[in-house]
């Protein structure tokens, strides 16, 4: 028999055990509770992310402002032919009038303060009468003013080819509707690239027709530059829709006798242009023969033909006529764009005080454009049109990039950077300012992002351009596939070859005293092969000519790290350091050059010259 003390101890032991079990049960319940909370939070998080994704990638990619259906007339009775666009669907950017709907102009305040359209744009009506069905209005940039494709009111349409990238503007919704397979073709507005840029960024065909051919029932941005355009995936669809829209006659196809590759425009690209030019070259040789191919520096050509550009030498880089002429042309385009937009919409904005995108408000807050300068810009338009007509005549095609590189990421700083804007506008200006017709043609992908090229024909050469693109399209795609496969098999060899080609072009530019052009080409060579000392040494020489002594010193130091016996690098670094006032370091470089090459007169003269600066 246990003593009372023992019993008490046993009771305490049992009590402790019971308490421990309760604690464990509570802990288990607490753990289970925490687990359910975590699971609940996880599921909630998944639902939130899913909702966010659903908002970003909508069923229609966020391309539309309004959905509706405008049906074509009944088919004519046999033996008459059916409507040429039978079975096709299309969408229109929200700058085209549709009877019974407000033309919203990408801005809710505009829609709020304007009445429904009394008539449908003749362009839209022509397509419907041609047998196509209109299925809705698409998103555009705020007041169709920018080229990003972003719209904070209606949401930025999702680029189907690269959802994390901008679709391009101003006709972003129309491009996305076509790229996403929602419609067969779409109407957009191109002022400074509003069809061409989103066509390139979304990997589809984008056609800007000749200026002034189409202009009814549209909200204009800048009448001197505006041209309604078309998007399509299929060149046959683009061909059919454009023929109906422009009321073009069908006739025998004339092959181009001259295909001119604009070398200076391809130098504006941020990625290697070799693949694009190679695809075009191979295709043209197969279809039209080598004799039809040629190359041109369009900037230099324009300088010789367009006298008004000399009055618009904006952004010239150290006397480089090519850079200054292309930049001046783009600046003239931008001046007209801003001036005519202000004339059209400043009163409405001042009276309504709407919420508008920063790019629009910044334009209105800038000083008003000088009237004499605007007249000069208009003169440049006429002169450039004549110059391009003289260059291309009735049977020529000009080949250039549509954009300088892949589409920027959404909300990225690149969109606002001066370099990005300059390159984009330089490439868009030639067709906008000359009034020529241009088609953006997709050429597959580079690092999973769309790549394109553009063809331009003279003003009024729309049928010729459309026929050429239809003829050449499938061959271009085949050659693009071949180039991608061959380059992936020998990428290291190709990079070295391309680097040498860029270096040789840089050497030619250096001989012609085009220092900035030489630097750009040497930089391209360095990107392709960063272990070649010659590329850095040559770029240092060009930097010295521009007076960029710190860059020259840095390049020479890189050369010396790669090749410690490079006499030119020591001489050039010594020169850069002397100009920067680093006399002690400069004389050391010149003396080392003399060690490597004792009879070098340049080094010897420099040493004697610098001795008086060294105690």
Instruction: Report the pLDDT value the prediction gives residue 362, as an integer from 0 to 100.
Output: 87
Instruction: Report the pLDDT value the prediction gives residue 390, as an integer from 0 to 100.
Output: 97
Structure token digits, residue 452? 């394109």
* Tokens 């043209």, residue located: 284
Kindly report, residue by residue over 61-119, the tens digit of the pLDDT. 999 999 999 999 999 998 899 999 999 999 999 999 999 999 999 999 999 999 999 99
**Between residues 12 and 329, which one has the greater pLDDT?**
329
Given pLDDT bands bounded at 50, 70 and 90, which one contains residue 10?
Answer: very low
- What is the C-alpha separation between 308 and 302, in angstroms, rounded? 10
Instruction: Report the pLDDT value the prediction gives residue 310, as an integer from 0 to 100.
Output: 79
- What is the C-alpha separation between 319 and 516, in angstroms, rounded? 9
Given pLDDT bands bounded at 50, 70 and 90, which one contains residue 215?
Answer: low
Does the structure show a pLDDT above 80 at 606? Answer: yes
* Among 118-122, 359-363, 505-509, the range of highest mean pLDDT: 118-122
Instruction: Report the pLDDT value the prediction gives residue 313, as an integer from 0 to 100.
Output: 67
Whether the Cβ atoms of residue 228 and residue 174 lie closer than 8 Å to each other: no
Ranges of beta strands (E only) in 304-345 are: none
**Between residues 216 and 488, which one has the greater pLDDT?**
216
Instruction: Report the pLDDT value the prediction gives residue 171, as an integer from 0 to 100.
Output: 98
Cis upstream peptide for 79 (omega within 30°): yes
Given pLDDT bands bounded at 50, 70 and 90, which one contains residue 317?
Answer: very low
- Give the CB-side neighbour count of residue 46, counting CA atoms within 13 A: 5
Residues in the chain: 615
**Between residues 9 and 136, which one has the greater pLDDT?**
136
Burial 567-578 (b: 16+ CB within 10 A, else e): bbbbbbbbbbbb
Which of 311-325, 347-361, 372-386, 455-469 has the least mean pLDDT?
311-325
Taking only Cα atoms into account, the Rg of the chain, rounded to an integer number of angstroms, comes to 32
Instruction: Report the pLDDT value the prediction gives residue 488, as an integer from 0 to 100.
Output: 58
- What is the C-alpha separation between 326 and 323, in angstroms, rounded? 5
Question: CA 614 → CA 577, 592, 607, 609, distances in Å?
Answer: 14, 16, 10, 10
Does the structure show a pLDDT above 50 at 46? Answer: no
Instruction: Report the pLDDT value the prediction gives residue 58, as an integer from 0 to 100.
Output: 64
| Overall average pLDDT of the 554-577 stretch | 95
Instruction: Report the pLDDT value the prediction gives residue 568, as an integer from 0 to 100.
Output: 95
Helix (H, G, I), strand (E, B) or coil at 135: strand
Does the structure show a pLDDT above 80 at 56? Answer: no
- What is the C-alpha separation between 261 and 318, in angstroms, rounded? 25
Instruction: Report the pLDDT value the prediction gives residue 16, as an integer from 0 to 100.
Output: 43
Percent of the chain exceeding pLDDT 70 equals: 87
Does the structure show a pLDDT above 90 at 211? Answer: yes
| Overall average pLDDT of the 191-201 stretch | 98
**Between residues 493 and 160, which one has the greater pLDDT?**
160
- What is the C-alpha separation between 409 and 57, in angstroms, rounded? 15
Given pLDDT bands bounded at 50, 70 and 90, which one contains residue 487?
Answer: low
Burial 391-420 (b: 16+ CB within 10 A, else e): bbeebbbbbbbbbbbbbbebeeeebeeeeb
**Between residues 354 and 324, which one has the greater pLDDT?**
354
- Give the CB-side neighbour count of residue 14, counting CA atoms within 13 A: 5
| Overall average pLDDT of the 493-511 stretch | 85
| Overall average pLDDT of the 154-183 stretch | 97
What are the phi and psi torsion angles at 99 (to 5°)?
A: -55, 130
**Between residues 396 and 373, which one has the greater pLDDT?**
396
Q: In what order do the strands lie in the sheet with 449-457?
A: 64-70, 133-138, 89-93, 185-190, 227-232, 205-208, 437-446, 449-457, 396-400, 258-262, 293-296
Q: pTM, whole model, 2 decimals? A: 0.72
| Overall average pLDDT of the 299-307 stretch | 92
Does the structure show a pLDDT above 60 at 30? Answer: no
| Overall average pLDDT of the 452-468 stretch | 97
Tell me, letter by letter, the H, E, C secondary structure of 82-110: CCCCCCCEEEEECCECCECCCCCCCCHHH
Percent of the chain exceeding pLDDT 90 equals: 76
Does the structure show a pLDDT above 50 at 321? Answer: no
Looking at every residue in the chain, the average pLDDT score rounds to: 88
- 478 exposure class (CB count in 10 Å sphere: 0-12, 13-18, 19+): middle
250-255 — which CB contacts under 8 Å span 24+ positions? 251/463, 253/467, 253/471, 254/395, 254/464, 254/467, 255/287, 255/288, 255/468, 255/471
Q: Considering only CA atoms, which of 91, 99, 92, 95 is closest in space to residue 111? A: 95
Which of 181-190, 265-274, 386-395, 484-493 has the least mean pLDDT?
484-493
Instruction: Report the pLDDT value the prediction gives residue 292, as an integer from 0 to 100.
Output: 97
Given pLDDT bands bounded at 50, 70 and 90, which one contains residue 53?
Answer: very low
Instruction: Report the pLDDT value the prediction gives residue 325, as an integer from 0 to 100.
Output: 79
What are the phi and psi torsion angles at 106 (to 5°)?
A: 70, 15
Whether the Cβ atoms of residue 514 and residue 320 lie closer than 8 Å to each other: yes
Given pLDDT bands bounded at 50, 70 and 90, which one contains residue 136?
Answer: very high
- What is the C-alpha separation between 603 and 609, in angstroms, rounded? 10
Kindly report, residue by residue over 222-231, the tens digit of the pLDDT. 999 999 999 9
Angle at 403 between CA 399 and CA 408, to 5 degrees: 165
- What is the C-alpha separation between 275 and 452, in angstroms, rounded? 11
């Amino acid at each position: 028999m246990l003593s009372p003390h023992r019993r008490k101890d046993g009771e305490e032991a049992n009590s402790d055990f019971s308490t421990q079990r309760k604690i464990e049960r509570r802990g288990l319940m607490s753990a289970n509770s925490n687990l359910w909370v975590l699971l609940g939070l996880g599921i909630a998080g998944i639902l939130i992310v899913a909702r966010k994704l659903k908002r970003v990638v909508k069923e229609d990619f966020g391309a539309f402002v309004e959905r509706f259906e405008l049906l074509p007339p009944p088919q004519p009775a046999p033996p008459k032919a059916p409507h040429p666009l039978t079975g096709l669907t299309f969408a229109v950017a929200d700058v085209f009038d549709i009877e019974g709907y407000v033309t919203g102009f990408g801005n809710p305040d505009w829609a709020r303060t304007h009445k429904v359209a009394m008539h449908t744009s003749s362009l839209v009506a022509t397509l419907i009468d041609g047998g196509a069905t209109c299925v809705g209005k698409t998103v555009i940039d705020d007041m169709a003013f920018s080229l990003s494709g972003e719209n904070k009111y209606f949401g930025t349409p999702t680029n189907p080819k690269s959802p994390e990238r901008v679709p391009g503007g101003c006709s972003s919704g129309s491009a996305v509707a076509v790229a996403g397979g929602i419609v067969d073709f779409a109407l957009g507005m191109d002022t400074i690239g509003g069809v061409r840029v989103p066509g390139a960024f979304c990997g589809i065909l984008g056609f800007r027709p000749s200026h002034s051919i189409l202009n009814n029932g549209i909200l204009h941005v800048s009448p001197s530059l505006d041209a309604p355009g078309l998007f399509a995936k299929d060149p046959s669809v683009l061909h059919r829709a454009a023929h109906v829209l422009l009321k073009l006659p069908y006739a025998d196809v004339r092959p181009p006798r001259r295909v001119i590759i604009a070398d200076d425009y391809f130098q504006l690209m941020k990625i290697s242009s070799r693949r694009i030019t190679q695809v075009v070259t191979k295709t043209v040789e197969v279809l039209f023969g080598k004799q039809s191919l040629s190359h041109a520096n369009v900037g230099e050509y324009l300088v010789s033909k367009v006298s008004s550009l000399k009055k618009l030498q904006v952004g010239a880089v150290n006397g480089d006529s090519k850079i200054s002429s292309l930049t001046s042309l783009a600046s003239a385009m931008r001046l007209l764009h801003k001036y005519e937009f202000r004339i059209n919409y400043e009163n409405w904005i001042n009276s309504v005080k709407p919420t508008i995108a920063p790019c629009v408000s910044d334009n209105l807050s800038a000083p008003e454009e000088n009237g004499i300068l605007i007249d000069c810009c208009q003169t440049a338009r006429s002169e450039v049109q004549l110059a391009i007509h003289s260059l291309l005549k009735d049977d020529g095609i000009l080949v250039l990039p549509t954009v300088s590189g892949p589409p920027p990421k959404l909300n990225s700083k690149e969109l606002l950077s001066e370099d990005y804007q300059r390159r984009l506008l330089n490439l868009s200006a030639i067709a906008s300012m000359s009034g020529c017709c241009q088609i953006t043609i997709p050429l597959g992908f580079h690092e999973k992002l769309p790549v394109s090229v553009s063809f331009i024909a003279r003003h009024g050469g729309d049928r010729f351009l459309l026929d050429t693109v239809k003829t050449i399209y499938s061959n271009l795609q085949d050659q693009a596939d071949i180039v991608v496969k061959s380059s992936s098999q020998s990428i290291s060899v190709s990079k070295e070859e391309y680097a040498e080609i860029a270096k040789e072009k840089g050497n030619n530019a250096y001989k012609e005293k085009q220092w900035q052009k030489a630097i750009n080409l040497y930089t391209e060579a360095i990107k392709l092969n960063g272990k070649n000392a010659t590329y850095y040494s040559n770029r240092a020489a060009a930097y010295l000519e521009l007076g960029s002594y710190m860059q020259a010193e840095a390049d020479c130091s890189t050369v010396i790290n790669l090749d410690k016996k490079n006499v030119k690098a020591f001489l050039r670094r010594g020169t850069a350091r002397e100009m920067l006032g680093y006399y002690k370091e400069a004389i050391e470089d010149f003396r080392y050059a003399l060690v490597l090459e004792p009879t070098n007169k340049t080094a010897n003269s420099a040493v004697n010259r610098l001795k008086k600066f060294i105690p």
